[in-house]
Structure 1
């Protein structure tokens, strides 16, 4: 397995999603969302999940944390729900039908669930385990080590631990009824500090 095995969709929605992430995320957060897509695709390949909507997965992965960006930080909604609505607006502009736009919202919201049943939502499941790997260090030995190293070399973690931890803690303080609070009380800061990829990227 090599990063070149997975090619981003060459579609208006995918291109626009990456442009939006580049414009509003720091380099650390940008690398995180792109890595999350690679991890999700790699998990899909390893598990033989052949029915994936790859464009939906890419757009959802690249935009899954856009709700943390100050420009899209909703006063009441959780950051994943706010980001899901950004994805709805972007994909509407790209011509997606309403049901598929709703799927982007669902996948992004579900990435912050404690777990997602793949029978319910395969793309949501893949993004949840991918972000679980990149943020909490879950399933650190499942993907091939050379593949992980190549992705980290291309998109290093930089200051992800400090930046993401601070931003989610701020979300938890201002919106204590959202998943950000669960992440913080569940030891997010410690998981980021002790992440197995920190020394690799």
Structure 2
């Protein structure tokens, strides 16, 4: 499997989501968002998981937008803030309310420990891909050659340190948030040991 085997959706909505992510995310966070989509689609292909490419792509591009200063909320966890941004983005894209809600749900659920594939395939895939990219969870699920190709095309650019700083900041200001829970459960150790950074 190579990146050429994976479908990168080219709809106007996907191009707009990439434009938003490119405008607001750091280079490391942007590459993380793209890799999140790529890892998810590769996993879906290997496991015959049907999913909505446009919905997953938009969710992947915006899933961490709540970590950037322009959209950081002092009242809700970053994934909920990101879900709200996705809802507003979807409204601007002309999506019906139900599809806006789905994008918001996928982004909120990416911080869950697990989402059953039959309940929400897009969230299931985003949980897999983001936990792989941030914490190095289950890297051998994807072929080594594909991992190397993706990392060469979309390098990590110091993502681990940047992401950990974001989570520590979130934890300090929002002690009941999922980011705070991740900090308490040792995400720093997992990020430091991520095999994708070796």
- TM-score between the two structures when normalised by the length of structure 1: 0.96
Helix, strand or coil at the partner of 1:56 = helix
What is the deviation of 1:25?
A: 0.9
Contact 1:13-1:90 within 8 A present in 2 as well:
no
CA contact (8 A) 1:64 1:108 kept: yes
Residue 111 of structure 1 contacts residue 131 of structure 1 at CA under 8 Å; is this kept in 2?
yes
Contact map agreement 1:84 1:109 (CA 8 A) in 2: yes
The 5-angstrom pairing of residues 1-201 of structure 1 reads 1-50=1-50, 52-199=51-198
State the secondary structure of the residue aligned to 1:197: helix
* Contact 1:37-1:58 within 8 A present in 2 as well: yes
Q: CA deviation at 1:175?
A: 0.6
Q: CA shift at 1:8, angstroms?
A: 2.3
Question: Does the 8 Å contact 1:16/1:90 carry over to 2?
Answer: no
Which digits, 9 at most, give the CA deviation of each residue in 1:72-114, with x for residues without a partner? Answer: 0011111011011111111111111100110000000000001
In structure 2, how many angstroms separate the alpha carbons of the residues matched to 1:97 and 1:9? 19
Shift of 1:12: 2.1
Q: How many residues align?
A: 198
Q: Distance in 2 between matches of 1:5 and 1:71?
A: 35
Q: 2:33 and 2:182 mapped to 1: Cα distance?
A: 18
Structure 1, unaligned stretches of length 5 or more? none
Using the size of structure 2 for normalisation, the TM-score is 0.98
1:132 Cα deviation (Å)? Answer: 0.8
Stretches (4+) displaced over 6 A: none
SS in 2 for 1:71: coil
CA distance in structure 1 between the partners assigned to 2:97 and 2:117 by the alignment: 22
Report the RMSD for the aligned CA atoms in angstroms: 0.8
Q: Mind listing any 5+ residue stretches in structure 2 that lack a counterpart?
A: none
